[in-house]
Structure 1
Amino acid sequence: MDLGISGKVALVTGGSAGIGLAAAKSLAREGCDVCVCARDPERLADAVVELQEFGKVVHAVLADVEDPSAARRVAEETRDVLGPVDILVANAGGPPAGRFDEVGLDDWDVAVQRNLLGTVRLIHAVLPEMRSRGWGRIVTITSRSVREAIDGLVLSNATRSAVAGVVRTLAREVGGDGVLVNNVLPGPIETERLRRLMGDEEALRGRGEEVPVGRVGRAEEVGDVVAFLASERASFVNGVSLLVDGGESRVIA
């Protein structure tokens, strides 16, 4: 299936590993020129090497979306090298685990800056040009905690849900301008974060057995969903928060 986005410019934050890198690969495979942004210079360099295998133009920007000045800088550098951003994939690492009485106010500040305001700033940086051109795709990566609170992840439950609220509101405001805004809710995906939370291979396997399909997900499975939502094929999909969790969530709506 041709997704109709060959030649588009995609900006993917948190793009050096895990779901972010998988999304960047899926977009590059569909013919997009891709800019990836991340905090670790070595991993960012490795990601560029992997993405160049798809034969498209790849650029990397070393930046941390926690930094209030980063979003504008990343968007401007992407524009200077590749052209205006057509597709934004706003992805950032999840905040630390912890119950409400285990996290301090400083932890809240970091989580809000990274997982909520970082996303808001990125959208602010790319949305005006998308609207002026009459075409754009914004895909945020959050968590299934948007649909049902996960014990011990109060920071994620709160900040990810706030992003979902922004997505649903913005989709109604800019859909008429040709800009579609959607949110992807990964469940248990085999990433460094999940491995860290699980602690060992046996626990990871046990986690997979809790999922109806009998395993945890792969990052590329989320990446392909992101590419679809960014495509012309998803031209009537707007404002959704889409679970990619192997059927684990029991929430009906």
Structure 2
Amino acid sequence: MDLGLTGRTAFVAASTAGLGRAVAESLGREGANVVITGRRLAAAQEVAAALPSAIAVELDVTDAASRAAAIAATETAFGPIDILVINGPGPSPSTAADLSTADVAAAFDQLVSPGHDLIQRTLPGMRNRGWGRILAVGSTGVVAPLPHLAGSNLGRAALAGYLKTLASEVGADGVTVNMLLPGRIATDRVARLDAAQAEREGIDAEDVARRSRSTIPVGRYGTPDEFGDAAAFLCSARAGYITGVALRCDGGLVRTQ
């Protein structure tokens, strides 16, 4: 299937590793011009060098000036942005009872404000051209809050509400707005979460992973490529009638429809 991504320009936030990198690589394989971003320019350059058409741009996704500079660099290199992938690190593990007022504000600043700002900078052009894709990398915590990840649950749910509202406002302009919710994907972040859980319980991290796998109907963690390919489809010309969706990529982990 031709996804119709050849020549499209995709800006992928926080794409030097993990799920962001997986999304960027899938888009690149499908012919998109991809902008690899991250705080470590050398790491971004390494990822970009392996793709057919890509550039590396330094980006601290939590810093407004850095976001503005990264968007400007993208437009200089490739022209207008057609695909915006919102991604970034989540808050540290915490229970809801332990969240401070500062933690709540930080969750919003980390998970909501950057995405909102990037959208404000790219959406007008998408609407004017009659084509655009906005995709946020979320978490299954949006539909089934995860224990010990209260800050992430809070911030990502807020972003989901904003994106769902936006989708209904811009769909007629040819712009789709979706979230892709990873379950247990085999990334470094998931490994760190397993390690933190193991430390809390005084057990081995592999025991935590084994227990987690037993709760997933497909019996394993997902691969980054599986997640990236799902993202590429949602960003494609073929997905023009899919918008306002929070799609789970979780191997059946969440037991709701």
Structure 1 length-normalised TM: 0.94
Q: Does 1:234 align with 2:239?
A: yes
Contact 2:36 2:45 in 1 (8 A): no
Structure 1 window deviating more from structure 2 (92-101 vs 20-29): it is 92-101
Whole-angstrom CA distance in 1 between matches of 2:163 and 2:175: 12
Kept in 2, the 8 Å contact 1:71–1:125? The answer is no
Per-residue deviation, 1:210: 1.5
Contact 1:66–1:110 (8 Å) recurs in 2: no
Cα drift, residue 41 of structure 1: 3.0
The alignment partner of 2:45 has SS state of helix
Hey, what does 2:36 align to over in structure 1?
A: 36
**1:74-153 paired onto structure 2 within 5 Å:** 74-153=70-149
Residue 14 of structure 1: CA displacement?
0.9
1:70, distance to aligned residue in structure 2 (A): 2.7
Q: What is the distance in 1 between the residues matched to 2:243 and 2:73? A: 28
C-alpha offsets along residues 84-140 of structure 1, whole Å, 9 cap, x if unaligned?
100001011121110123333333333211211011011111001101111000000
Matches within 5 A, 1:1-253: 1-50=1-50, 52=51, 55-56=52-53, 58-199=54-195, 200-252=205-257
Work out the CA distance in 2 between the residues paired with 1:87 and 1:44: 18
Give the total of aligned pairs.
248
Other structure's SS at 1:69 match:
helix
Q: Distance in 1 between matches of 2:83 and 2:74?
A: 11
What is the CA–CA distance in structure 1 between the aligned matches of 2:230 and 2:212, rounded to whole Å? 22
Residue pair 2:14, 2:59 contacting (<8 A) in 1 also: no
**What is the distance in 1 between the residues matched to 2:39 and 2:104?**
20
Out of 192-201 and 230-239, give the one that drifted further.
192-201
Distance (whole Å) between structure 1 residues aligned to residue 255 and residue 248 of structure 2: 11
Unaligned runs of 5+ in 1: none
CA distance in 2, matches of 1:188, 1:182: 20
Partner secondary structure for residue 137 of structure 1: strand
Q: Which runs of 5+ in 2 are unaligned?
A: 196-204
Deviations 1:48-96 (A, max 9, x none): 233x3xx22x111111111122322221110011111000010111211
